[in-house]
Amino acid sequence: MNWDYFTKDLDWNTLLSIIIGAAIIYTALIIYTRIFGLKSFSKMTGFDFINTIAIGNIFAMSIGTGSPKLLMGALIVGLLYGMNYLISLVLFKSDTAQNLIDNSPILLMKNGKIIEEALKKTKVTKDELRGKLREANVLQLSQVKAVILETTGDVSVLHSTKELEIDSFLMDDVKL
């Protein structure tokens, strides 16, 4: 086996730089999370999800490639946290902004019936829907009260063997 493939450009200075860089960026992430709160990683909105991906990308690039430079990477991560916090604040305070900026959840199934138009609109296949129903331990379609494609891309399956109505609060923002 040729070990040069794994160790060609690796020297003690590079290894030490990676270790120190990872510690600095990781510490910055902890500090930013303490300042801006855990919601930054919550994936409650599409913006939270995008922010998490962007932060991970900057984190990895700063440590692995040195571009952006370590302190610049820490600053960019801080700016991403700050922008996500500001967007969350605007969405929290303004229903108008929330309607303009954020997506609405979409109803894919209601009372055991698949809503074909919603599947077409969202590009969710029946195979994907079946998989989500199985993940939720649905045994019969008649148990399904609602299947909702959330704003984050997650799928919520509300089901029960009892004859219960879904509380309107849970369906308030869901589009048909």
| Per-residue pLDDT tens digits of the chain, which is 176 residues long | 677 666 666 777 877 888 888 888 889 889 998 998 877 777 777 778 888 889 889 888 888 777 888 888 889 999 999 998 998 889 889 888 887 877 889 999 999 999 999 999 999 999 999 999 999 999 999 999 999 999 888 999 999 989 889 999 999 989 98
- Whether the link from the prior residue into 105 is cis, omega within 30° of 0, is no
**Nearest-angstrom CA–CA distance, 65 and 63:** 6
Q: Report pLDDT for 110.
A: 96
**Nearest-angstrom CA–CA distance, 44 and 98:** 13
Superfamily grouping for domain 106-171? bsu07140 like domains (3.30.240.20)
Q: Report pLDDT for 1.
A: 66
Q: Report pLDDT for 5.
A: 65
Cβ contact 90:97 at 8 Å: yes
Q: What is the pTM of this model?
A: 0.70
Listed residue (105, 113, 116) closest to 148, CA to CA: 105
Domain assignments of the chain as residue spans, ordered by start:
7-99, 106-171
Cβ contact 81:48 at 8 Å: no
Strands 106-110 and 113-114 come out as antiparallel
Q: Report pLDDT for 7.
A: 66
